[in-house]
Amino acid sequence: MSINSLVCIKQVPDTTQVRIDPETGSLVRKGIPSVANPYDLYALETALSVRDQHGGFITALSMGPPQAEEVLRKALGYGVDRAVLLSDRAFAGADTLATTYALAAAVKKIASGRDAQTGASGIDIIFSGKQSIDGDTGQVGPGMARRLNFSQLTYVCSLIEIDVEARCVEAWRQREDGRELLQAKMPVAVTVTEQCSSIRYAALPDLITAAKKPVEVWSAADLDVDRERLGLRGSPTRVSKIFAPPARKRGETLTAPERSVAEVAALLFDRLAERGLKIGRRGG
C-alpha cells in the first residue's frame, strides 16, 4: 500500500521587495521577482520523503496566474508525478475562503481519479505551508481540511511516522509553549513549518524528466464548482485600504555624559512605563 499526496504550492512575490508607492498609495508589485512560497518547499520535501518511504504519487497543485506554472515546473523538477495549475480569470481576487473552495474542488477531481493520468486514486495527505509570505494567513491548509473533511494538522515541525495499515499519521506540532505529538487519521491535511527538512537537491534524471512533463492547466470549467463562490465574487473579505507601515524613526539617545549607567537604565524603564509597559505588580 502506498500513500498518495498532494502538495499546495503558491507563487508569491519576494516580499522583501514589495512596498507601497508613496505617491499613489498603491502596491508596487511590478518587476518584483516571484518565488515559490518558501514554506511550501518544506511541504514538498515532506511529501517527497513520504514517497521515498512508502511509495505513491505526488500531485502538486497551485492556483494563480499563468506564470505560476513556474513553481509547478520547479516541483516537477523535484520529481513530483503530476502538476495542476488552476488558472482562470474567474479565480482571480480570491481570499482564503474562495481559494479553499477552488483548491478543494480540484483535490476532489484529482482524488476521484476521473482523469487519473497518474493512476492515483484518492488523496491520503494534503501538504501545505504553514502560511504564505504574501498573505501570511495560514488559513488555506485548515480551510481545505474542513471542506474535504480531512483531519487537520497544522504547524507540523516533523512528521515522524505513517502507519499505512491503520491509516494513521504521527507528527510533532509546534506550539507557543512546546511541542505536541499528535496522531491523526488519514486522510489528513498537514501544514508544515520551517523546522521540517529543507528541500533536497533534485537529481538530474528528475530534472530531465520534468523538462518535458506538462503542467496541466485547469480553468473553472474543468471543475465542478459554483462560479458565484469563486474569485473576488466568492470572497467575503474586501481590502478597504492599504498603506505603508509607519516607518521607524531614530528615537531618543538615553546615554549622556552626565548620566551614569544606572541612571540610563532607570530612565529607560521610566520611558517604557510612560508608554504603558510597567514592571511589577498590577497597578504598581
Partner 1 sequence: MTGWLSVALRSAGAVAELKKDKASGREPQAKKAAAEGEGEIWVVIEHEGADAAPVSWELVGEARALADELGVRAAAVIIGAGEQELARKAFSYGAAASYLAAGPKLGAYSADPHCQALAGLAARHKPQVILLGATTRGRDLASAAATELETGLTADCTELKIDPEKKLLLQTRPAFSGNVMATIITPKRQPQMATVRPGVFPAPEPVAGASGEIIASKPRLKPTNVSVKQLEFIRAPKDEVSLQGAKVIVAGGRGLKAARNFALLEELACELGGAVAASRAAVDAGWISSQRQVGQTGQTVRPVLYFAMGISGAVQHLAGMQASDIVVAVNNDPEAPIFEVADYGIVGDLFEVTPVLTEEVRRRKAEAGADGGLRIEKSARK
Partner 2 sequence: MNKGKKETGTAGAAGAAPARFDAIVVGGGPAGLATTFTLARAGVKVACLERGNWSGSKNMMGGVIYSHPTAAVFPEFWREAPLERLVTRRDMWFATTDSTIKASFESTDFGQEPYNSFTVYRARFDKWLAAQAAAAGAWMITETLAEDLLRDGRRVAGVRSGRPQGDLEADVVIIAEGVNPFLTEKAGLASCPPQAPNVALAVKEVLALPTEKIEDRFDLEPGAGAAIEIIGEITGGLPGTGFIYTNRDTISIGVGVLLNSLVDNVTEAYTILDKFKQQPQLRRLIQGASPREYSAHLIPEGGYRCMPQLYGDGVLVAGDAAGMVNPINSEGANLALLSGQMAAETVLACRREGCFDRHALALYQQKLEKSIVIKDLKKYENATPFLASHPQLFGLYPELMAALAREFLTVDSLSKANKEKLLLRLFHSQVPTRRLLKDLYDAWRSLT
- Select from partner 2, ligand AMP, partner 1, none the partner in contact with residue 40, using the beta carbon and a kind-dependent cut-off of 5 to 8 Å: ligand AMP
Q: Report the C-alpha gap between 219 and 224 in whole angstroms.
A: 11
Q: Is 114 helix (H, G, I), strand (E, B) or coil?
A: coil
SS3 state at 160: strand
152 binds, among ligand AMP, partner 2, partner 1, none (CB under 5 to 8 A by kind): partner 1
* CB 31, min distance to partner 2, A: 6
Contact 62, 10 (CB under 8 A): yes
Nearer to partner 2, 92 or 116 (CB): 116
Q: Please tell me whether residue 131 binds ligand AMP under the rule CB under 6 A.
A: yes
Residues that bind partner 2 (CB under 8 A): 31, 57, 70, 77, 79, 81, 117-119, 201-209, 211-214
User: Considering the rule CB under 6 A, would residue 73 count as an interface residue with ligand AMP?
Assistant: no
Angstrom distance (rounded) from CA 250 to CA 183 = 49
Report in angstroms how near the CB of residue 201 gets to partner 1 at its nearest.
18
Of the candidates 103, 101, 121, which has an alpha carbon nearest to the alpha carbon of residue 111? 121
Joined together, the cell numbers standing for residue 40 give 511550501
Cis before 187? omega within 30:
yes
Question: Taking Cα atoms as reference points, which of 75, 81, 49, 50 lies closest to residue 62?
Answer: 75
Q: Does 34 bind ligand AMP (CB under 6 A)?
A: no
Residue 92 interacting entry, from ligand AMP, partner 1, partner 2, none, C-beta within 5 to 8 Å by type? none
Asked if 141 is part of the footprint of ligand AMP (rule: CB under 6 A), the reply reads yes
Compute the least distance from the CB of residue 209 to partner 1, in Å.
31
In this chain, which of 41, 63, 120, 169 binds ligand AMP, going by CB under 6 A? 63
Q: Residue 98 in contact with residue 231, Cβ under 8 Å?
A: yes
Comparing CB distances to partner 1, the nearer of 1 and 253 is 253
SS3 216: strand
CB-wise, 20 or 92, nearer to partner 1? 20
Q: Which does 3 bind (CB under 5 to 8 A by kind): partner 2, ligand AMP, partner 1, none?
A: none
Q: Which of 82, 129, 130 shows the shortest CA–CA distance to 109?
A: 82
Cα 61 to Cα 35, 195, 238, distances in angstroms: 15, 22, 25
Within 8 A by CB and 6+ apart from 32, the residues are: 13, 14, 17, 18
Which among 15-23, 72-80, 135-143, 179-187 is the span making contact with ligand AMP, rule CB under 6 A? 135-143
Q: Measured from the CB of residue 165, what is the shortest distance to partner 1 in angstroms?
A: 16
Binding site for ligand AMP (CB under 6 A): 8-10, 37, 39-40, 43, 61-64, 96, 99, 128-129, 131-132, 135-141
